[in-house]
């Protein structure tokens, strides 16, 4: 399951999505997330599905690689659906004891499952087609107006970049520690839920120690190089919008208008 996490990883390719400005992709991801919550009908989710499928097709990222990330959220998805099915009040379809399955609960569970799946796929698509450095530059430039109200935009963007960069590193470290523990006789697969949680302790302790050590090494390296951010910091590759970015913005605004239209019309 550790290897199935795709958020934070980058898949190199030469697609149109990869070549877009990171600010365009950040805005596109935000628009898609908003649209997922605006749609609440089969027709609306069909529009979102077509849009997402088109983006995946254009990105040339393998579909199996994108959907592999859903395995990591299977338990969260299952718990979310169960809670919505049994805890949403409404017209009862099946009752047993104090529990009852309602029509509204089933509808809410399906909608929440679709939203969660689409949020993960949409976020993964952005990180798979954008390097951490590009994400940092795009986020920093997009939030630059907040500097006027003394918001530490550069520091926030840098922290997000470091977090995204550390995800694949920590996943690799987790895999190494798990293999080492299995070689010493640890069992992470068998037993009940409580036993599995106890078996994770020998994995989590060295992982946290390794994460803190890497963070300390990174901080010392930045201090040794006299690193400091701010307005005077220059970029090796300044961000510039191109024709394809303007076309992408037009498509995104049209898609957002459709989503708002569906919401207003109650479709």
In the predicted structure, residue 251 carries a pLDDT above the cut 90: yes
**Encoded tokens for 74:** 């299977």
pLDDT single digits (tens) 101-118: 887 888 888 888 888 889
Strand partners, 101: 94
Q: What is the pLDDT of residues 193-215, one digit of tens each?
A: 677 777 777 778 888 888 888 88
* Closest C-alpha among 4, 71, 59, 72 to residue 29: 59
Give the whole-angstrom CA distance, residue 145 versus residue 38: 28
pLDDT at 7 over 70: no
Nearest to 83 by CA among 112, 121, 45: 112
Backbone angles phi, psi at 266, to 5 degrees: 75, 25
Prediction pTM value: 0.76
DSSP secondary structure letters along 187-250: -SSSS-HHHHHHHTHHHHHHHHHHHHHHHHHHHHHHHHTT---STT---SS-----HHHHHHHH
Residue-range domain boundaries for the chain: 1-130+240-267, 155-233
Q: What is the pLDDT of residues 9-59, one digit of tens each?
A: 788 888 899 999 999 999 999 999 999 988 888 888 999 999 999 999 999
Long-range contact list for 195-203, CB < 8 A, 24+ apart? 203/174, 203/177, 203/178
pLDDT tens track for 81-92: 888 888 777 777
């Amino acid at each position: 399951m550790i290897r199935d996490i795709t958020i934070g990883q980058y898949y190199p390719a030469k697609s149109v999505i990869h070549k877009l400005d990171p600010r365009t992709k950040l805005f596109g991801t935000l628009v898609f997330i908003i649209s997922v919550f605006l749609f609440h009908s089969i027709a609306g989710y069909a529009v979102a599905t077509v849009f997402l499928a088109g983006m995946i097709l254009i990105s040339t990222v393998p579909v199996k690689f994108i959907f592999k990330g859903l395995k990591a959220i299977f338990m969260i998805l299952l718990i979310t659906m169960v809670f919505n099915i049994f805890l949403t009040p409404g017209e009862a379809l099946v009752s047993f004891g104090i529990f009852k399955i309602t029509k509204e609960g089933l509808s809410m569970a399906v909608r929440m499952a679709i939203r969660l799946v689409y949020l993960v796929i949409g976020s993964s698509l952005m990180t798979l087609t954008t390097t951490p450095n590009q994400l940092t530059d795009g986020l920093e430039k997009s939030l630059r107006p907040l500097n006027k109200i003394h918001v530490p935009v550069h520091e926030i963007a840098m922290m997000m970049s470091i977090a995204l960069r550390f995800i694949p590193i920590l996943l690799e470290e987790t895999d190494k520690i798990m293999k080492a523990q299995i070689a010493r006789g640890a069992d992470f697969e068998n037993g009940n839920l409580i036993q599995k949680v106890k078996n994770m302790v020998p994995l989590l302790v060295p992982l946290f120690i390794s994460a803190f050590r890497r963070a300390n090494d990174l901080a010392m390296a930045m201090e040794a190089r006299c690193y400091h951010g701010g307005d005077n910091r220059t970029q090796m590759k300044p961000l510039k919008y191109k024709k394809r970015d303007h076309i992408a913005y037009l498509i995104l605004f049209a898609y957002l208008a459709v989503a708002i239209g569906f919401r207003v019309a109650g479709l």
